Chain A
Amino acid sequence: MKLLKPTWVNHNGKPIFSVDIHPDGTKFATGGQGQDSGKVVIWNMSPVLQEDDEKDENIPKMLCQMDNHLACVNCVRWSNSGMYLASGGDDKLIMVWKRATYIGPSTVFGSSGKLANVEQWRCVSILRSHSGDVMDVAWSPHDAWLASCSVDNTVVIWNAVKFPEILATLRGHSGLVKGLTWDPVGKYIASQADDRSLKVWRTLDWQLETSITKPFDECGGTTHVLRLSWSPDGHYLVSAHAMNNSGPTAQIIEREGWKTNMDFVGHRKAVTVVKFNPKIFKKKQKNGSSAKPSCPYCCCAVGSKDRSLSVWLTCLKRPLVVIHELFDKSIMDISWTLNGLGILVCSMDGSVAFLDFSQDELGDPLSEEEKSHIHQSTYGKSLAIMTEAQLSTAVIENPEMLKYQRRQQQQQLDQKSAVARETGSAASVAGVVNGESLEDIRKNLLKKQVETRTADGRRRITPLCIAQLDTGDFSTAFFNSIPLSGSLAGSMLSSHSSPQLLPLDASTPNSFGTSKPSTEPAAVAGTRPAGNSVNKDSVNATSAPAASSPSVLTTPSKIEPMKAFDSRFTERSKATPGAPVLTSVTPTAVERLKEQNLVKELRPRDLLESSSDSDEKVPVAKSSSLSKRKLELEVETVEKKKKGRPRKDSRLMPMSLSVQSPAALTAEKDTVCLSVPAPTLKLPMPGPQKAFTLQVSSDPSMYIEVENEVTAVGGVKLSRLKCNREGKEWETVLTSRILTAAGSCDVVCVACEKRMLSVFSTCGRRLLPPILLSSPISTLHCTGSYVMALTAAATLSVWDVHRQVVVVKEESLHSILAGSDMTVSQILLTQHGIPVMNLSDGKAYCFNPSLSTWNLVSDKQDSLAQCADFRSSLPPQDAMLCSGPLAIVQGRASTSGRQAARLFSVPHVVQQETTLAYLENQVAAALTLQSSHEYRHWLLLYARYLVNEGSTEEGAAEGTAASHRAEPPLPASLHRMSGTARHPKG
């Protein structure tokens, strides 16, 4: 055994309360008291292990220091995957840290020593629930749960997959809870508290399994922590501070019946911490001696207030080693290396000791498979040690296991894809923003930064964004928010927000369209976006911006930001979970084709130029995010083959694929043979179902039930329509099968086979004899007394059945769906009988019956919407409360626009112009939709904006006057301040 006290591991003399070695053994974390805050430090392990590394100046010792805890940190614990670090402290918080991969070294601002953080660990979650100091945290063996205990007498189980969700709060302790340990098979969690009890809780229902008090009856005095530990084979639970015959012990509790017959004796003061070696050992087999195979045993380290450390093997009656006087103060925490041969011990005196054992001393560690086998044979399952081979064969007992399996598989894929990407992207982002070096930016920052005045006349600076974050939980936040914020396709949203479920989502087409999205999972689907296969009409050869990054492409005034944007994006996508790997089985022809496309179409400048004129025919890939991701990967493989291609192209690649030049298309036909010329639009038709229920409204509660072919009368099968409105029910029968139904507060209508449409009042009276549609029904919709029918031949009709007039007569959707693989993602019928079509490219059209025209009322890719910033003009009460058809169609894209705009550092004047134009559009759209409420809202907003902006710019005398009137009187001091601000001397 070797013993080392690395003096450089310290918190400047302040106590170190916790230590934990990273599962990969390359680093370890310490937690304790900082200057005037809590402190978490991540240290490099190699200088501890090797003397050469310790002396090497180039090898950093400290990797990262986090001063974010407001008070002393009591516990630091790595997740089993090593991805996260959890820390809990006296500030009642638990922080979960994750490494940020691309932001370069930085210093802790204001810390006396200017030590650089070599690694960046970023707090990704803050868990607040405890009302007192957090004493211990513990990750469950499968990393799905994080447990924390506190002096508030509770243990909280957090959902580690979905922070900060709390799964359970375990109440029962009547004293400060000071230690936690999970059963290695994940069935129990044990906690030890000052209330002289050790409690074992079931993870199945989070209820108390047993409470053990006897060994603790005599326990007086208090220790700072009571870190108990469970043996890796699951058989034994060893407590911290217990008493036996007035002597301090570590109580051994057997899993079988929770018996307390044995203990570790010898320490002169209370045991503060017990830590089992993660390995199970067996006797070292000496060469030649054919000893009988001995029983596997465990190894356990015990630290005490008496400043000594003992290491025990469960096969020996006496400790393997006892080290006295290791520290000046109580031992606080112990951590084993994953290989089981080293331990780090920390103490209240602020120092750390490292013990290095040899295999001769401890024995031969069992492999993970063998360990898992022990678990399997003893408990029938193991959450902790799931090797790849076992994943597929393990018996799944509960949903947790299933989830775990999925995640595990996903992670493997992620890792592979991450590696694949890593090789492709060497571009460093650090220090370069918008194509300028940070230095350049800093020189001109004062001149360039956008400064405006708020409505009340205060200076407002828009800071320059110099880096995006790349934490996992952030991945959906910004870039996706632009196309998504207004998206109504719920399924699309969900597919974004739950990446691990992607494969499932992608196979369920979330909207109907001119073609069923191709769902073949294989390479074909991966190489081309869904729906692309029916790309019949020739489209402009220039490619178009796609939903994924409209903000990047729609501001032609600035070109430079693209680089930064793209690199950021790709960097970030690295962190995005759930990207499946496609080992490409791609026909090379397709690949070649794409490369052509790349070369031909994807010079970003071209793209920008074309984006303005291709506005009309921009068919944006409605490919689900899955296919996008697949594409990305695909592109990467292509890219790798073509060296020297600028990285940014890859981002644009997937978009170009959604639109192809005729030439490319023919080429593609040859290779893939999926393109079918389809001269007319054909919308999907609902197939006959046996029965279905449709909720029309919840208040008043109204629903329609349909049962097809319920009874046969004289050889004719009848279908039953049942309608229930606030408990009142009526039903009727129809002679043909009902395909789809719709209802409103005034009418109920059903479309049957043979193109029949029947309309009933809500009381069940048939309002009309069946209407014969020109072609089979695709979608049926009712609002008030208006009935809208969209047929499979893409014609739209709207009738007012009460007044018995036609509002829209068989209007074709050709003009809005023309020439691309767009689909209708949502249909809306306003109260005034105006139909609104939301298309998959983010555009929305309403049909204006009086002019017989389709009017564009919303466009997600609208650069105006992206740049408009009228936030300052929003009325104090939440303006977004304004609801109506326009709001439904456009969604509530409130902040993305502003942010996108400012990232391009658009000059204020330009932003003003775009905002004005945007507001004009909104007013006109609201008017066309006959949405009076929204019209009023936007008109007011428009007026307010004019007034506000008028006051900051010269001219617009009325505006100034108006805003002055609106301004409250300012005290003299503020007047002075704003005065100086207005006329800066420098």
Chain B
Amino acid sequence: MAKVSVLNVAVLENPSPFHSPFRFEISFECNEALADDLEWKIIYVGSAESEEFDQILDSVLVGPIPAGRHMFVFQADAPNPSLIPESDAIGVTVVLITCTYHGQEFIRVGYYVNNEYPDPELRENPPPKPDFSQLQRNILASNPRVTRFHINWDNNTDRLEAIENQDPALSCSLPISCTPVKGLGLPGCIPGLLPENSMDCI
């Protein structure tokens, strides 16, 4: 069983303008002290069509972690609009929060994100080139999709040291290797599949 279980992720400042940072208040529980830090990441799915548009907004180490309940706020800057395909700028996409321990991902929390113009005028007649400064980001906070993975928590210290040694190199390679984002058990990742009124309930 996972030594760490996520109790809650609260989406702060939602909805918010497109350029404002993401803020997630993450509470988790750890049932025995962890020897090493957890690594949390926020990944913004730029386009449902392709993983190449995924952006890792930020990654942060969290520790030390004794047994108990803990919470922290994970803040990351808004995605870089220039990396988002224009056709995908407006509509529904996904933001992922992942957590890894010793380089192994054990939880992935996915949220649907709806980007739209709050201004009805703009909504009716969107500019040909998306105007990100006018966009509002709305995270469907009430409906996270949580996927848990079974990982090996019990590394002996030797191996652990080895991993620590490799850490810089490892994290360097991560942006490239860590892109198996898409499917993530999020059916209906494609914008059109999500009924529009589901956003209204927020």
Q: Which residues of A contact B (CB under 8 A)?
A: 36-37, 67-70, 91, 93, 95, 103, 106-107, 109-111, 122-124, 126, 441-442, 445-446, 449, 454, 456, 458-469, 471, 474, 477-478, 871, 876-878, 895, 898-899, 902, 967-968, 970-971, 973-974, 977, 980-981, 984-986
| Cβ–Cβ contact B72 & A895, under 8 A | no
| Cβ–Cβ contact A986 & B75, under 8 A | yes
Tell me, rounded to whole Å, the shortest Cβ–Cβ distance linking A220 to chain B: 35
| Cβ–Cβ contact A462 & B67, under 8 A | no
| Cβ–Cβ contact A445 & B25, under 8 A | yes
What residues of chain B lie closer than 8 Å to A441, measured between beta carbons? 71
Considering the complex, which residues of chain B in the window 44-92 have a beta carbon less than 8 Å from any beta carbon of chain A?
A: 56-77
Stretch of B113-121, B125-133, B142-150, B190-198 on the interface side: B142-150
| Cβ–Cβ contact B6 & A446, under 8 A | no
Given A68-B2, A460-B37, A465-B66, 18 extra CB contacts under 8 A: A68-B5, A103-B69, A107-B8, A109-B7, A109-B9, A122-B31, A446-B75, A465-B68, A469-B68, A469-B69, A474-B67, A478-B33, A876-B161, A899-B66, A971-B175, A977-B58, A977-B59, A980-B77
Measured in the bound complex, the distance between the Cα atoms of B165 and A876 in whole Å is 6
| Cβ–Cβ contact A463 & B65, under 8 A | yes
Tell me, rounded to whole Å, the shortest Cβ–Cβ distance linking A982 to chain B: 11
What residues of chain B lie closer than 8 Å to A462, measured between beta carbons? 62-64, 72
Considering the complex, which residues of chain B in the window 13-51 have a beta carbon less than 8 Å from any beta carbon of chain A?
A: 20-21, 23, 25, 27-29, 31-33, 37
- Which of A442, A449, A460, A464 is within 8 Å of B61, CB to CB? A460
What residues of chain B lie closer than 8 Å to A876, measured between beta carbons? 161, 164-165
What residues of chain B lie closer than 8 Å to A68, measured between beta carbons? 1-2, 5
| Cβ–Cβ contact B21 & A984, under 8 A | yes
Q: Which residues of B contact A (CB under 8 A)?
A: 1-2, 5-10, 20-21, 23, 25, 27-29, 31-33, 37, 56-77, 109, 144-148, 150, 157, 161, 164-165, 167-169, 171-172, 175-176, 185
- Which of A70, A93, A477 is within 8 Å of B67, CB to CB? A477
**Residue on A nearest B27 in the bound complex, by CB:** A466
| Cβ–Cβ contact B8 & A986, under 8 A | no
- Which of B37, B56, B71, B165 is within 8 Å of A466, CB to CB? B71
Measured in the bound complex, the distance between the Cα atoms of B89 and A267 in whole Å is 64
Most buried by A among B23, B28, B58, B68: B68
| Cβ–Cβ contact A459 & B164, under 8 A | no
**Given A123-B31, A974-B175 in contact, is the A877-B161 Cβ separation under 8 Å?**
yes
A sample of 16 inter-chain contacts (CB < 8 A) reads A37-B148, A68-B1, A126-B1, A445-B25, A454-B61, A458-B171, A461-B72, A464-B70, A467-B69, A469-B29, A469-B68, A895-B66, A974-B171, A977-B57, A981-B58, A984-B77
| Cβ–Cβ contact A123 & B37, under 8 A | no
**Residue on B nearest A449 in the bound complex, by CB:** B72
**Given A442-B25, A459-B60 in contact, is the A468-B67 Cβ separation under 8 Å?**
yes
What residues of chain A lie closer than 8 Å to B148, measured between beta carbons? 37, 67, 70
Tell me, rounded to whole Å, the shortest Cβ–Cβ distance linking A900 to chain B: 10
What residues of chain B lie closer than 8 Å to A70, measured between beta carbons? 148, 150
| Cβ–Cβ contact A973 & B56, under 8 A | yes
Tell me, rounded to whole Å, the shortest Cβ–Cβ distance linking A470 to chain B: 10
Most buried by B among A110, A454, A468, A474: A110
Measured in the bound complex, the distance between the Cα atoms of B27 and A985 in whole Å is 24
Measured in the bound complex, the distance between the Cα atoms of B69 and A124 in whole Å is 15
- Which of B32, B58, B61 is within 8 Å of A477, CB to CB? B32
**Residue on A nearest B175 in the bound complex, by CB:** A973
Most buried by A among B7, B66, B73: B66
Measured in the bound complex, the distance between the Cα atoms of B7 and A897 in whole Å is 27
| Cβ–Cβ contact A477 & B33, under 8 A | yes
| Cβ–Cβ contact A466 & B70, under 8 A | yes
**Residue on B nearest A466 in the bound complex, by CB:** B69
**Given A123-B1, A464-B70, A464-B72 in contact, is the A458-B56 Cβ separation under 8 Å?**
no
**Residue on B nearest A70 in the bound complex, by CB:** B150
What residues of chain A lie closer than 8 Å to B8, measured between beta carbons? 106-107, 109
| Cβ–Cβ contact B161 & A899, under 8 A | no
**Residue on B nearest A66 in the bound complex, by CB:** B1
Measured in the bound complex, the distance between the Cα atoms of B168 and A471 in whole Å is 36
| Cβ–Cβ contact A460 & B60, under 8 A | yes
What residues of chain B lie closer than 8 Å to A977, measured between beta carbons? 56-59
What residues of chain B lie closer than 8 Å to A463, measured between beta carbons? 28, 62-63, 65, 70-72
| Cβ–Cβ contact A445 & B73, under 8 A | yes
What residues of chain B lie closer than 8 Å to A460, measured between beta carbons? 37, 60-63
**Residue on A nearest B64 in the bound complex, by CB:** A898
Measured in the bound complex, the distance between the Cα atoms of B66 and A466 in whole Å is 11
What residues of chain A lie closer than 8 Å to B69, measured between beta carbons? 103, 465-467, 469
Measured in the bound complex, the distance between the Cα atoms of B66 and A110 in whole Å is 24
Of all A-B residue pairs in the complex, the 5 with the closest CB atoms, nearest first, are A110-B146, A463-B70, A467-B69, A463-B72, A460-B61
Tell me, rounded to whole Å, the shortest Cβ–Cβ distance linking A252 to chain B: 39
| Cβ–Cβ contact B7 & A458, under 8 A | no
**Residue on A nearest B21 in the bound complex, by CB:** A986
